Amino acid sequence: MPTDSTSTLTPALTARDLAVFFGSHQVLKNVSIDIAAKAVTAIIGPSGCGKSTFLRSLNRMHELVPEARMTGDIRLFGDDIYERNVEPVIVRRRVGMVFQKSNPFPTMSIAENVTVGLRLNGLRDKKLLTERTEQSLQMAALWDEVKDRLHAPAISLSGGQQQRLCIARALAVQPEVLLMDEPASALDPLATQKIEDLIIELKKDYTIVIVTHNMQQAARVSDFTAFFYLGELVEFGPTKKIFTNPSQKRTEDYVTGRFG
């Protein structure tokens, strides 16, 4: 949970002049943006526009690609996450991530999956772990469906349930920000709707940044939308404005389906 002293007026994440290179190839150019706290920000744009790279730069996951480097500044509630003595591991405990393809660990049960982030970071208190398991599964709207089989293997769940389990797993670590990379694109419409309802619930307590290629989804769940194209942030603003009256022609063309 974010600390109570966090004002919703302080942006959760700020990027200034962010540029990301993979080797000599520049994937993101000059991105400056303020991500509002306790709100949902959607990142949209055609394939290859850099939106996933941008998302991953927010929790330093882009560093997993060899020869990745970045310039610029990213701050999480004021803290520079790329400062020299900041370990990526610490950043990732404050900024969680859920992926497109749900990936619950196959050798672990449902409960073990939820608490893996805590246990492998040293937490041993059984009582606390049990509490956190129920809490996280409740927040992920999965508790009622699995409370009687917490020790069943995680992979016995359906696709939509697995994704919600991954969300619970990410929430158990109590991050301040949750990043979601096309979380519902591999799910059927009903499961997608559950995830979207969940996102709208979660934003009461968490800052959420979601990459999606589905503009209607962005319109349904997000408060702010950022449109990326060819590595640049073309337009950023309240979702209503972006989808009813964007300022930039490129945004208008993308949103009305003229390209992308």
Partner 1 sequence: MTAPNHSWRKFKNVFMQALALVCALLVVAPLVLVFYHLIKEGFSAINWAFFTQLPKPVGEPGGGMGNAIVGTFVVLAQAALLGVPVGVLGGVFLSEFGGSKLNWAIRFAADILNGVPSITWGIVVYALMVVPMKGFSALAGGVVLGMMMIPLVMRTTEEVLQLVPGGYREAALALGIAKWKTIVQIVIRTALKGIVTGVLLALARVAGETAPLLFTALGNQHWSHKLNEPISAMPLQIFNYAISPYDDWHRQAWAGALVLLLLVLSINVGVRFLTRDRFGARNH
Partner 2 sequence: MDNHFESGLDSLRHKLLLMASHTETAVNQAVQALMQRDYDLALRVKADDDVIDRCEVEIDELAIQLLTKAPLATNLRLVTVAMKISQDLERIGDEASKIAKRARDLSQEPPVKIQLDLPLMAARALAMLKAALDAFVQHAPAAAREVIPCDKQVDALNKQIHAALVQHMVENPDAISRCLHWMVAAKSLERIADHATNIAEDVVFLWEAQDIRHTGIKNQGVAPTKPV
User: Using CB under 8 A as the criterion, which residues of the chain lie in contact with partner 1 when the complex forms?
Assistant: 59, 61, 64, 89-93, 96-97, 99, 101, 103, 105-107, 116-117, 120-121, 166, 169-170, 173
Closest approach, Cβ 199 to partner 1, in A, equals 18
**By CB under 8 A, residue 179 contacts partner 2:** no
Site for partner 2 in 183-222 (CB under 8 A): 215-216, 219
How far is CA 172 from each of CA 13, 112, 134, 144, 166, rounded to the nearest angstrom?
21, 11, 9, 17, 10
Residues in the chain: 260
**By CB under 8 A, residue 223 contacts partner 2:** no
Looking at the Cβ atoms of 63 and 252, the one nearer to partner 2 is 252
- CA 164 to chain CA mean position, Å: 13
The count of chain residues that interact with partner 2, using the rule CB under 8 A, is 13
Whether residue 53 contacts residue 211, with contact meaning beta carbons closer than 8 Å, is answered with: no
**By CB under 8 A, residue 249 contacts partner 2:** no
**By CB under 8 A, residue 252 contacts partner 2:** yes
Q: Return d(Cα 224, Cα 73) in angstroms, integer.
A: 21
**Nearest by Cα to 54 from 66, 37, 42, 67:** 42
**By CB under 8 A, residue 257 contacts partner 2:** yes
Name the token pair of 226.
Answer: 């950022």
Closest approach, Cβ 53 to partner 2, in A, equals 25
**Nearest by Cα to 212 from 236, 183, 178, 241:** 183
**By CB under 8 A, residue 240 contacts partner 2:** no
**By CB under 8 A, residue 33 contacts partner 2:** no
Stretch binding partner 2 (CB under 8 A), from 70-78, 179-187, 196-204, 249-257: 249-257
What sign does the dihedral 185-81-224-247 (CA atoms) show? negative
**By CB under 8 A, residue 258 contacts partner 2:** yes
How far is CA 147 from each of CA 126, 142, 143, 152, rounded to the nearest angstrom?
17, 8, 5, 10
**By CB under 8 A, residue 228 contacts partner 2:** no
Q: Which of 26, 130, 156, 245 binds partner 2 (CB under 8 A)?
A: 245
Binding residues for partner 2, per CB under 8 A?
Answer: 215-216, 219, 243-246, 251-252, 255-258
